[in-house]
Amino acid sequence: MSKAFNFSLQKVLDVREMVEDKKAMGLQKAQAETDQEKRILASIEAEKERVAHPEETQDSSEGVSLQSLTTRSAYLDQLNDKIEDQSSQVSISEETAEEKRQEYIYATKEKMVLEKLKENHREVYKKKNNQIEIKEESEIASRISRNEDRS
């Protein structure tokens, strides 16, 4: 009969699949880092909110000391600076994740091109095989009819 279908660019396709997998892992890692940076930012913002609006544990007749207000103000300034820095980290991380996403999309498209080419080659191969089989069957049928005519 006929030999099995063999795609001549299979090794290239295999390499592209490995590249796509690597890019997918890179994207996953970048997204995890972005999520971590966002969690850090959220915790800093929660700390700022806690410090900015403390629960009133003192009697309303007692005032808040100047020293505690000064300390709280300085700490809020530090938290604002941390929030600003962490927001920058989040932005950088999001940009990195977007770059990784674009690399993954490109790798996927590159692989899909070869997969489509492979499928097209497979279809051509099947058609040729079907034509060969039909031709062989016709030759067998004509031989049998010639042998019957001779008898």
* pTM to 2 decimal places: 0.74
Per-residue pLDDT of the chain (151 residues; tens, 9 = 90+): 567 889 999 999 999 999 999 999 999 999 999 999 999 999 999 999 998 887 644 444 456 788 988 999 999 999 999 999 999 999 999 999 999 999 999 999 999 999 999 999 999 999 999 999 999 888 888 888 877 777 6
Rounded Cα–Cα distance for residues 65 and 50 (Å): 18
Q: Which two tokens stand for residue 120?
A: 């097209």
| Beta-carbon contacts of residue 96 (< 8 Å; ≥ 6 apart) | 30, 33, 34
Domains and CATH numbers, the chain: 10-54+64-150 (1.10.287)
